[in-house]
Chain A
Amino acid sequence: MKDVDDKFLKNIDKEFPLREELRPRTVTTPDGQEIEIEPLKDYFCEAAPKVHPKAYIPIVENFYNWARANSLWILGFGTGCGAIEMRPLMTPRFDAYRYGIQWRPTPRQANLLMISGYLSVKTLKRAVRAYEQMQGPKYVVGLGSCTINGGMYWDSYNTIKKLDQYLPVDLYIAGCMPRPEALLAGFMDLKKLIKAGKCEGANKYAENFAFYKENQKSVIKDWDMPDYNW
């Protein structure tokens, strides 16, 4: 720890209490029965994500990858300033639609999560949730130096510095912020990677699920959602 006053130590003893309505408890139903409820478990399936195996014959897998590369649907989830850089791509000037790339409003309809800038802890929670709700095969692209090494938020108390600790990133696009042209180049690179079968982020997430959850929970103190559930 260079240049840091090591007299300041973070408070690690304090736990953040779970919100009252999420705690396991006994409730009385309208017909007088007493039942135990555990809100974080009752409504969600506890199954962890599974690794999606490759097709048995390589040529089939290549065909799948070609098809995947040509249908990139971006989740319109903007964090930080990169959300502004994505807007021109939807206009005639840059026109990302000619490459078959389009934006969708909900995670269920998208397969590409663009983390377009810094992520505060609060936004990370939503990003994790959005990522887990997306259906595989799914990809994550980190934009800008904030997602790579913290960028200008390198000493912020509330911003993560290395995105691939928390989500499996397939591609980073460097810049502060990358211009729309850089984004287009990044999409082309992503397509090449997908075609080469190298975008295995979702499988990586499933394989290292415990690692990712541990990292996520180490910064998100008020973890008030199930682990994987959507």
Chain B
Amino acid sequence: MRDIHARLKQRHHLGQFERQRPGLAFFTVPREYLRGLLLDLRDKEGFSHLVLLTAVDWMEEGLFQLTYMLNNRAEDVTFGIRVMLDRDEAEGDSIHDLWPTAETYQRELKEMFGINFPGSPRIDDEFILEGWTDLPPYRRDFDSLAYSQQTYAERPGRVTHDPREHMKQKLYPDGV
């Protein structure tokens, strides 16, 4: 893993290398260098498999983090490549031509986080939700509970017991 990183470092702008466990490491790259790095990893280093593409909402920092997990089966190495995007005009670069599966991930991100990927096929189609009119639901400023209470009728009488308090009350009613 170290030698792959050392080789990549000569050609690319890589951020801090964070090794999580043997065979798994993360690093951050600027958005404009992402494509070159992915191409290099896929064609020269044998990272043929896009495991997943997902996003994290760093609301306080005003950033979205895209994570591209790439796997090299032969060497049993997985790299997580992070790209930070501006949260207000969230727009990433489509990689559907490198891995066709990315198309589906990008559609999901468009619907759930509102991150646009111009040029990705069927990016504007509905993915899971139908007729969604509110904020993208995985954004952290979307309050799922409040939305659910304002939208769906509730049956009264639902209560929640804190298990610790409940058992205390049940086992020691006099408060030993």
Contacts and interface: CB of A to CB of B under 8 A. Distances in A.
A130 interface: no
A122 B133 contact: no
A6 B146 contact: yes
B130 A161 contact: no
A161 B131 contact: no
B149 A1 contact: yes
Interface string A1-40: 1011110111100111000000000000000000000000
A161 to B, nearest CB: 5
Interface stretch (A41-49, A62-70, A186-194, A217-225): A217-225
B155 A161 contact: yes
Contacts of A157: 137, 142, 144, 147-148, 151
B122 to A, nearest CB: 15
B172 interface: no
Interface in B141-157: 141-155, 157
B134 interface: yes
B155 A149 contact: yes
Between B131, B132, B133, the greatest number of chain A beta carbons within 10 A of the residue's beta carbon is seen for B131
Given A8-B143, A149-B158, A15 B152 contact: no
Interface string A92-114: 00000000000000000000000
A156 B146 contact: no
A161 B155 CA distance: 8
A125 interface: yes
A221 B131 contact: yes
Band of interface residues on A? 35 or more
A89 interface: no
B135 interface: yes
Contact of B131 (A4, A16, A156): A16
A82 interface: no
Contact of A161 (B143, B152, B157): B152
Interface string A140-184: 000000001110001111111110010000000000000000000
B59 interface: no
Contacts of B151: 10, 157, 218-219
B167 interface: no
Given A149-B158, A221-B133, A10 B146 contact: yes
B6 interface: no
A135 B158 CA distance: 35
A26 to B, nearest CB: 26
A122 B129 contact: yes
B176 interface: no
A148 B145 CA distance: 18
A156 B148 contact: yes
Given A158-B137, A162-B152, A221-B131, 15 more contacts: A4-B145, A5-B146, A8-B142, A8-B146, A8-B147, A9-B146, A10-B146, A11-B135, A121-B131, A125-B130, A155-B145, A159-B148, A161-B152, A161-B153, A219-B152
30 contacts: A4-B143, A5-B143, A8-B147, A9-B146, A10-B134, A10-B146, A10-B147, A10-B150, A16-B133, A121-B129, A149-B154, A149-B155, A149-B158, A150-B154, A150-B155, A150-B158, A156-B144, A156-B148, A157-B137, A157-B148, A158-B129, A159-B148, A160-B152, A160-B153, A161-B153, A161-B154, A219-B151, A219-B152, A220-B130, A221-B131
